[in-house]
Amino acid sequence: MYQADHHLVLAPIRGVTNYILRNALEQTFGGADSSISPYIVTKENGELNKRQLEDSLFAKNLIPTTAQILTKEVDQFIHAAKHFKDLGVQKVNLNMGCPYPMVANRTKGSGLLLHPGRVEKLLTEIKEKCPLELSVKIRLGRESKDEIKEIIPIINALDIKDFTIHARLGKQLYKGVVDLDGFEECLPLLKYTPCYNGDIKTPSDFEKISKRFPQIKRWMIGRAALSNPALLSQIRGEEYNEQKYRALFIKMHKLMSEEYLSRENAKSDYLQRMREHWLYFKDVFVDERKVYKKIKKAKSIDEFHNVIDWALDQEISDEVLN
């Protein structure tokens, strides 16, 4: 059951949970106490993507947002962290959980978990030099849940308080089920209570997992909060009928669309950006396949908006209502 001291975190999903979505969600359904922005990729030459950097800009975000960095190099992490500090960011997160092979095979994200010695050196130097508060997001392992047990002593020794565990292995990607037993095995080993992440898809999922782990106060939710933007507020006890839900979803979509179109050179990637959001938004509706098929076929902004007018009038799934 949701408690007043629970903290709900909107998870980072690359290309989707940017400040535009985060702000639109906050202005409509709400429910997130904080968020982590999608990771910024560091480069050997020090070049950083300006749009990715500014996504975490304090002035742009309506909810507290932690910046995230994906790297295996200390100097690249510190370089990016200093830029984030200049933008007013308060906290930075090291991504040690990204499951995708193209990342993990380069010893980044969850690929780092196979190399505890490298993790110890990386985290020790980052903790020593980082100009911002440090947090870490991790999985139970890349190949085995035993891998995290070699990482936990490092986390404890460095006194890292903000530590999120996605209760899956990297090799699972986002498939299969979460390993709640594996997560539970970590708890007595950790100096500080972690944030839980993984497969909270409905308020009833939250009820079950929070009942099993009453000591957990921080909860990270990602994909399910995109497929059902009301989920975070529903966990808090908010109720929605179809009329209320539709009105807020229309408002949320309008806010996002207007913000995207207000950006420099917006029209060049507007359709691609919105299609990425609709990979999740389609699940709001009963006939999600038909909705997304029509959206994918739209070849112009005007055509897309006509399809959206139609889509927003379709029947909403009972699965997102309560």
Strand partners, 35: 10, 65
The percent of residues in the chain predicted with pLDDT above 70, rounded, is 100
Lowest mean pLDDT among 151-155, 257-261, 266-270, 296-300: 266-270
The percent of residues in the chain predicted with pLDDT above 90, rounded, is 95
pLDDT at 121: 98
Task: Give φ, ψ of 42 to 5 degrees.
Answer: -90, 155
pLDDT at 287 over 90: yes
Classify residue 274 as exposed, middle or buried by CB count within 10 Å of its CB (0-12, 13-18, 19+).
buried
- pLDDT tens-place string over residues 55-88: 999 899 999 999 999 999 999 999 999 999 999 9
Angle at Cα 231 formed by Cα 100 and Cα 212, nearest 5°? Answer: 80
pLDDT at 94 over 90: yes
- Name the token pair of 14: 């690359």
Query: What confidence tier does 311 reach under pLDDT thresholds 50, 70, 90?
Result: very high
Task: Give φ, ψ of 290 to 5 degrees.
Answer: -65, -40
| Mean pLDDT for the stretch of residues 81-109 | 96
- pLDDT tens-place string over residues 25-56: 999 999 999 999 999 999 999 999 999 999 99
Strand partners, 10: 35, 221
pLDDT at 265: 79
- Name the token pair of 126: 């980052």
- pLDDT tens-place string over residues 229-255: 999 999 999 999 999 999 999 999 999
Closest CA to 208 of 178, 168, 238, 246: 178
pLDDT at 267: 82
pLDDT at 284: 98
pLDDT at 263: 87
- pLDDT tens-place string over residues 124-174: 999 999 999 999 999 999 999 999 999 999 999 999 999 999 999 999 999
Query: What confidence tier does 1 reach under pLDDT thresholds 50, 70, 90?
Result: confident
pLDDT at 322: 87
Mean pLDDT across the chain: 96
pLDDT at 91 over 90: yes
Give the dihedral of Cα atoms 124, 74, 98, 19; nearest 10 deg. 110
Residues 109/96, Cβ–Cβ less than 8 Å: yes
